[in-house]
Chains A and B, each alone.
Chain A
């Protein structure tokens, strides 16, 4: 595990379904994963979060045996996912982020096809059950080409459930869903995990989903696991990173000139705390007793070339987990911005 990585473990014995230790992986001559570690137990939901390009999808590819690690070890159900791929895949249901379908088929035909590949004993019964689980019973005989994005996501989840897998590997499962759809998927995953003891390894960039669903979270940045642990523990760590009292108050996002943030941030008036810096933007907190308009005039007097001001909704920002995420992944985002 990389230096500075935080890790916390669930108490008590638990069947480990997935275990990655210091996994390194390459793609097209580029090192995508440098040091990834995670464990997923039976009946738990593990969230893999990270910015775009952090290596989430590649990590999932290693877990399902599509990519062999060049270093470290990967074990799924105690098996090598590459060398014993068939045995592993028989137990794993996968929902890729970019899942294509056979548009000429109906939903039931599609699931019947995969039921045949997974050796389902009673395809008609299982198909009906899966469609009901994901809320597509009324659309079973419609061609997939007529499905909306949300319906396709659900169908992909139904396909992942074919064959009663022990482990679900889901890449951005709620991507593109409306709030109701997301809620339904959440409830389904919670049921599968807690009642049927299915392990769920899901990648997501929606921290709300991770906080709501996951028992444990791994934060990955630039191909390295930078934090891993139970959600409450990671959230506490994030709150500990909070700036002193001056950081409380209304938060604003300011757009300055190109690469002016570094220079400007050295001159801060009283009542203003710098929370986060990017290339052209910075996030500041203005103490409650100061009027924002006064603050802006003071900043401009100090030479801040403010081009735009956005007020951030304080109710949606800066949970402990989000703060930890932002802190641990800021270098990656700055590299991408550069």
Chain B
């Protein structure tokens, strides 16, 4: 008899000549789900299409640098900064879409309920879905590396730029992934989750487009401090363009990490209440 199993029924029993195991721990289940999510992205045509779109955007940007003489005179650091910002933005968009589809899309397709009925804690389900997003982001990083090398290897601060992309970009990207998951769980619809998520993404990214004058006002400075995109891009600017040491960028990293924790908390809250139908 399996001593670990509470309740009235023994977990080790023989029926039809076979013993029955105890269900896996949450981590094993999470890894199973993450593996499935990663396979869906990398081996499925829909997922590959997303990666192809990412490649095309990066290629267009890189070719723009080559074809336009004026842009061709940009400093390497500026080029690296621009491309790092572009990859982070695309990564946030990709994980938002993947996250919204991970639960909202599964609900639309009817495949969520069997998943909810597996003997796994909801936290394992969330962890597995996040693992899938990590696979998506890793794929994007791998695709972006040759582009960064191509446009930035002749200059300086390329290694610093790549380090920023990984260390500072990952919290932001996963934050939007968590947001997609949370919205998908709340609305039980990929379309609704994506609509709201895109609005949030645009609002979060828009302060980064403000001119230097507006960003130096009191409100602009405050926004720069709390807005995750602004914080990260300012840090990349400092490291890549102004050649400041990466270790001095602890405050932007803390801001990004705090937003990630908030999004994770919200995702956990909504996923834990999932029943497969509106409540």
Contact = CB atoms under 8 A, between A and B. Distances in A.
Consider the complex of A and B and state whether they touch directly, i.e. have CB atoms less than 8 Å apart.
Answer: yes
A114 interface: yes
Contact of A163 (B23, B112, B115, B121): B23
A163 B20 contact: yes
A98 interface: yes
Contacts of B18: 164
Interface stretch (A89-97, A215-223, A226-234): A89-97
A120 B114 contact: no
Interface in A77-93: 77-79, 84-87, 89-92
B113 A99 contact: yes
B106 interface: yes
A90 B119 contact: yes
B112 to A, nearest CB: 7
Interface string A50-83: 0000000000010010110000000001110000
A308 B4 CA distance: 66
Interface string A10-35: 00000000000000000110000000
A66 B278 contact: no
A102 interface: yes
B277 interface: yes
B118 A87 contact: no
A100 B15 CA distance: 29
A199 B118 CA distance: 18
B123 to A, nearest CB: 11
A86 B29 CA distance: 12
Contacts of A96: 110, 113-114, 117
A78 B7 CA distance: 7
A121 B19 CA distance: 9
B234 interface: no
A196 B16 CA distance: 6
A118 B23 contact: yes
B111 interface: yes
B8 A117 contact: no
B71 to A, nearest CB: 40
Interface residues of B, number: 44
A184 B118 CA distance: 26
Given A61-B275, A91-B9, A119-B22, A86 B114 contact: no
A85 B36 CA distance: 23
Contacts of A197: 15
Interface string A178-200: 00000000000000000111100
A113 B109 CA distance: 17
Nearest to B11: A90
A66 B43 CA distance: 32
A79 B106 CA distance: 29
B32 A27 contact: no
Contact of A117 (B15, B16, B24): B24
Nearest to B22: A119
Nearest to A78: B8
B7 A87 contact: yes
A159 interface: yes
A104 B48 CA distance: 13
Interface in B107-142: 109-121
A101 B110 CA distance: 7
A174 B246 CA distance: 63
B207 interface: no
A101 B116 CA distance: 13
B15 to A, nearest CB: 6
B146 to A, nearest CB: 28
Contacts of A98: 110, 113
A85 B113 CA distance: 14
Contact of A99 (B11, B114, B116): B114
A116 interface: yes
Interface string B206-246: 00000000000000000000000000000000000000000
Given A86-B23, A89-B119, A102-B111, A117 B9 contact: no
A280 B100 CA distance: 47
B279 interface: yes
A166 interface: yes
Nearest to A171: B113
Contacts of B115: 117
Interface in B167-187: none
Interface string A135-170: 000000000000000000000100100011010000
Contact of B40 (A77, A78, A102, A198): A102
Interface of A: 27-28, 61, 64, 66-67, 77-79, 84-87, 89-92, 94, 96, 98-102, 104, 113-114, 116-121, 156, 159, 163-164, 166, 195-198
29 contacts: A27-B278, A61-B277, A66-B117, A66-B275, A78-B8, A79-B8, A84-B7, A86-B23, A87-B5, A89-B117, A89-B119, A90-B22, A91-B9, A92-B117, A94-B114, A96-B117, A98-B113, A99-B114, A100-B111, A104-B45, A113-B36, A116-B32, A117-B29, A117-B32, A117-B118, A118-B23, A121-B21, A156-B114, A164-B18
Given A90-B11, A100-B112, A196-B15, 13 more contacts: A27-B277, A61-B277, A77-B8, A79-B8, A89-B118, A94-B117, A113-B32, A116-B24, A117-B24, A118-B24, A118-B119, A119-B22, A119-B119
